[in-house]
Structure 1
Amino acid sequence: MVNRGNADVLIVGAGPAALFAIFQLGIYGFRCHLVDRLDRAGGQCAVLYPDKPIYDVPGFPEISGGELTERLMRQAAPCDPRFTFGRSVVALAATDGGAWRVGLDDGTPIDTGCVILATGLGLFDRPPGASAEELVPGPVAQWPLERNRGGIRVDPSTFQAAHVQTAQQGLFAIGDACDYPGKVKLILSGFHEAALATQEIRRHLTGKRPTVAYSTTSKRVRERLGRG
């Protein structure tokens, strides 16, 4: 089993794909810590177009970015996520025991079993005092990761990302931050990617072959959601 340090899973970014990953991981008992340079969850949905209607989210003929964020936060709440807003992850390093250490821009280190990069389109950052539109390449853009078409290259069966300086597993990318053959940059694609990444994270953290638990039939899942 992997040493999980301070958090089972550290997620860089707090957009829709990251928020759904909280839920997916939480139903299997993993707690997430999310770090985002913005001052709130939701990513582009919350900052760039909170009132703009979105028409391609399954089950919602129309939903605003703000409402989608609110619903994802409500869905994730039983999983007890931790959020650190207004901070950037500036460093990433493999540690002993199969874990990872990330460093924040205020010098805070966080040890974690897995890292998910869900930094959004272009791996952008917003300088202090800048408007939401004044984005620049963030620290993740400088990390030694394999890239293609501006995204982090991943294995589409697991969404693991390749770090060119270490062969250690447990590093993932989902949402607009990742790229693979056939990638479509839609919110619904990020949800799919979060679900598949979750299954590989389960295997990585526990050393066991995962079986899918269904919320409609699993008593344990319903109990974790407070609906047992």
Structure 2
Amino acid sequence: MPDSRNADVLIVGAGPAALFAIFQLGLYGLRCHVIDGLGQPGGQCAVLYPDKPIYDVPGFPEIDGEELCERLLRQAAPFEPRFTFGRTVVDLARDPGGKWLAQLDDGSHVRADHVVIASGIGLFNAPPDVGVADAELKPGPAAAWPLERSRGGIVVDPATFETSEPGLFAIGDACDYPGKLRLILSAFHEAALATQGIRRRIAGGKAASVEYTTASRRIREKLGQS
């Protein structure tokens, strides 16, 4: 099995939902490996509206897609995520030890305790040497994974954002649940609840305490604010 790498959480996709999930998971000591078919982070923001104003991100009267992604990357940076760009997850399965094993289109593998699918509405197919303006949107391999679906999204428990497969979560445009709003601000909420769902699984089903960034010395130290 070539090039097998390990992570606490594998995130499929690198759009805004995924980038905020890195930060949320990092707050609780979970290291992420993010894989995206594009040659850069940003997902739809990078491809469809890098310079288009967005007006409904809390705290920003106006911000374009490129700047939003830059800020999310800066926010996630203290937690040292690993990025693999220009690669696609073509298969997900459990290994004999119960971990998730993701096979990439180059034959390499990534092993993780938990997986968050944040692959958006499809796969923007553009290798690293092709500009994002030339990326073509098409259904990605995730569309064929045996998961319950509704309205084009993967069905999740809205309390945890876990799918029908234990340990496999979905957020952003990749997921669906009653009352779903396909907005960036909703994706941030989903990333936060998915993080708590993962923490609950790690704790054996018990609710883990939530630490507040304004009060936790541990978190402030991680963010370089001690």
TM-score in terms of structure 1 length: 0.91
TM-superposed CA distance for 1:63, in Å, is 0.1
Residues 127 and 67 (structure 1 numbering): CA distance in 2 closer, same or farther, change over 3 Å?
closer
Match of 1:192 among 189, 193, 205: 189
Q: Separation in 1 of the partners of 2:96 and 2:199?
A: 19
Cα distance, 1:47 vs structure 2: 1.8
Report the secondary structure of 1:226's partner residue: coil
Aligned to 2:136: 134
**Is the 8 Å Cα contact of residues 126 and 135 (structure 2) preserved in structure 1?**
no
d(CA) in 1 for partners of 2:181, 2:97 = 35
Residue of structure 2 in register with 1:166 after alignment:
none
Q: Which runs of 4+ in 1 moved over 3 A?
A: 127-133
The match for 2:102 is 102
Letter in 2 for 1:88: T
Stretch moving more, 94-103 or 139-148: 94-103
- Counterpart residue number, 1:66: 66
- Return closer, same or farther for 1:19/1:93 CA change in 2, 3 Å cut-off: same
Q: Which amino acid aligns with 2:185?
A: L
Matched, 1:160 2:162: yes
1-structure distance, mates of 2:37, 2:23: 21
Distance 2:187 2:51 in 1: 21
Distance change >3 Å, CA 131–CA 54, structure 1 → 2? closer
Q: Percent identity?
A: 66
- In structure 2, give the amino acid aligned to 1:103: Q
- Native 8 Å contact 1:93 1:101 kept in 2: yes
What is the CA-CA distance between 1:225 and the residue it aligns to? 1.1
| CA distance in 1: counterparts of 2:22 and 2:102, whole angstroms | 18
Distance (Å, rounded) in 2 between the aligned partners of 1:127 and 1:218: 41
CA contact (8 A) 2:86 2:126 kept: no
1:133 positional shift = 5.4
1:72-91 map, 5 Å? 72-91=72-91
Query: 1:168-198 CA deviation, whole Å, 9 max, x = no partner?
Result: x110000000000000000000000000000
Q: Which amino acid aligns with 1:44?
A: Q
Distance 1:132 1:49 in 2: 13
Which runs of no fewer than 5 residues in structure 2 stay unpaired? none
8 Å contact kept, 1:159–1:174: yes
RMSD between aligned alpha carbons?
1.5
Q: 1:111-157, CA deviations, whole angstroms, 9 ceiling, x for partnerless residues?
A: 10000000012x33416569545211111111111100000000000
Q: Provide the C-alpha distance between the structure 2 equivalents of 1:76 and 1:103, rounded to a whole number of angstroms.
A: 25
On the 8 A contact 2:10/2:114 being kept in 1, the answer is yes
Inter-partner Cα distance in structure 2 for 1:53 and 1:14: 20
SS at match of 1:98: coil
Asked if structure 2 preserves the Cα contact closer than 8 Å seen for 1:127 and 1:135, the reply is: no
The residue identity in structure 2 corresponding to 1:171 is: L
Aligned to 2:207: 209
SS in 2 for 1:6: strand
Q: How many residues align?
A: 218
Determine the C-alpha separation between the residues in 2 that align with 1:139 and 1:202.
27
Quick one: which amino acid aligns to residue 185 of structure 1?
R
